[in-house]
Structure 1
């Protein structure tokens, strides 16, 4: 079975639209972008379309790449203090003269849509209420929408980044899964993946997971996004695996649309928190 992320994303959008239909104001997102980066432009256009599709406010603040770190931090603080702003995004990467860590630390945890602030990361690790990073949240949402019970499942996560692999492993364990984190240098990786009920690949290497590494029972979630010969491909050898495994997400059209949609869930959480 090929999992259609677009259908799941639409369900999330419908839910988001209904959640705020009777509120006194609409939720608002502010994004910062420094310089001109085609990939960043494309991503933020997608976020804008997602927000506007459910009648959420969205504004993009474009800044010159030469802006000082202090000026950027002051602009972020200004939006932290704006009661009409519910979520803040700062598009990475940043110029070398600006510290990503200081920028992330400056965004108020209650407006941090990416879930990168150490306060949110720590709360997530402790199992407390926190803004969850969008890609791990998207993966968990896919399982929930498909009624896939994670309890007792053996799940292999290939990838150990702070953005996907590590927080996702924590969220899976909070759903009572048994989790093994692997990576591109794991010895005898196929020994782990062939035993897995679920394999989640977020390693950033095209076609990394191959036919000989999976079993017929496996559910394969491909988080990778790589450009090969002008085409977007994942970390999974999709064409050679899709007819073998139990379920699989394609690239594009799998995790990506859900990731964009679950950003709305984080916006709603911040919006509701601001109303209390």
Structure 2
């Protein structure tokens, strides 16, 4: 076989790709649509697992886990997010309640309310829905929540534990992304990962988990991580993205990630949630990724909606059960 013939043969050889529950055959350089990472399906699996654990927990004589959400103001998006969390609580068997406060509520009143919940032994998890009104200091509110009940993973102590790879509450969205990668068997060991967005709640936690050593109490995923953000020049972002085996975007910038930025076969995780108005005047949810174009190049891709969003709620349920078990163990 000549070098030319061998090269031609290799360029069209078929690669067997394992996709959840089925085997698909793809030409290495074909432009077939990427495998869709189904966040709805995986989140349903996780909630079913949490429900089973809660039923066993209650069967052992423990009370049901309890999650309290505090909603300050009347932001429609925040109201919807909290509503979805309460629906999920009911589905998995977690007791829940939403405390609603006016957007004029003083910071001191909110802090007092949090302190009461910290002292309540029947409450396992506390979350304050973000954003809070501008006159309230978000950092002070996050650090007012007892770290043992901080199911959002936003308290400085829990952030510090995450950096040290100690067992802690991982922010639900970041944990959801990691879980999607794991359950779809996307390899991370030695791979190049580009994260667009450096927020303390999403981008940075993912970077900490993905780059670190697997030997720690909170195992890392052994990847080489590049963390890009709003001040990364577009040409530099494209330079890094083209070399990435996994791209995760969490910026809220529509169509930030374009097809020409994608390495063929890469995994693309879209955390962005943006509301746009279509030509017909309707509101539509889209992410940071040009889904139609990128899906023709990528190997795996998450849709918006239906990708990372459902995972955030599912991992909040996971964290609430974890908090309930830890509080019992710590009191024994």
TM-score (norm 2): 0.81
Report the Cα distance in structure 2 between the residues aligned to 1:177 and 1:231, rounded to whole angstroms.
34
1:149 shift after superposition? 2.7
Cα 1:184–1:68, aligned 2, differ >3 Å: closer, same or farther? closer
Report the Cα distance in structure 1 between the residues aligned to 2:67 and 2:116, rounded to whole angstroms.
14
Task: Give runs of aligned pairs for residues 1-276 of structure 1, distance below 5 A.
Answer: 1-22=35-56, 23=58, 24-173=62-211, 174-187=220-233, 188-229=236-277, 230-276=283-329
Is there any run of 5+ residues in structure 2 with no aligned partner, and where? 1-34, 212-219, 278-282
| More displaced 10-residue stretch of structure 1: 18-27 or 251-260 | 18-27
1:127 shift after superposition? 0.7
- Report if the CA contact (8 A) 2:39-2:309 is conserved: yes
Aligned with 1:171: secondary structure?
helix
Report the Cα distance in structure 2 between the residues aligned to 1:60 and 1:146, rounded to whole angstroms.
34
1:183 shift after superposition? 2.0
| 4+ long deviations beyond 6 Å | none
Report the Cα distance in structure 2 between the residues aligned to 1:73 and 1:195, rounded to whole angstroms.
46
1:35 shift after superposition? 2.1
1:67 shift after superposition? 2.1
| More displaced 10-residue stretch of structure 1: 27-36 or 115-124 | 27-36
**Aligned-CA RMSD value:** 1.0
Report the Cα distance in structure 2 between the residues aligned to 1:65 and 1:228, rounded to whole angstroms.
26
1:220 shift after superposition? 0.3
1:74 shift after superposition? 1.0
1:200 shift after superposition? 0.5
Report the Cα distance in structure 2 between the residues aligned to 1:155 and 1:97, rounded to whole angstroms.
37
Report the Cα distance in structure 2 between the residues aligned to 1:217 and 1:96, rounded to whole angstroms.
43
1:166 shift after superposition? 1.0
1:95 shift after superposition? 2.0
Is there any run of 5+ residues in structure 1 with no aligned partner, and where? none
1:64 shift after superposition? 2.1
Aligned with 2:193: secondary structure?
strand
Computing the radius of gyration over CA atoms, which structure comes out larger, 1 or 2?
2
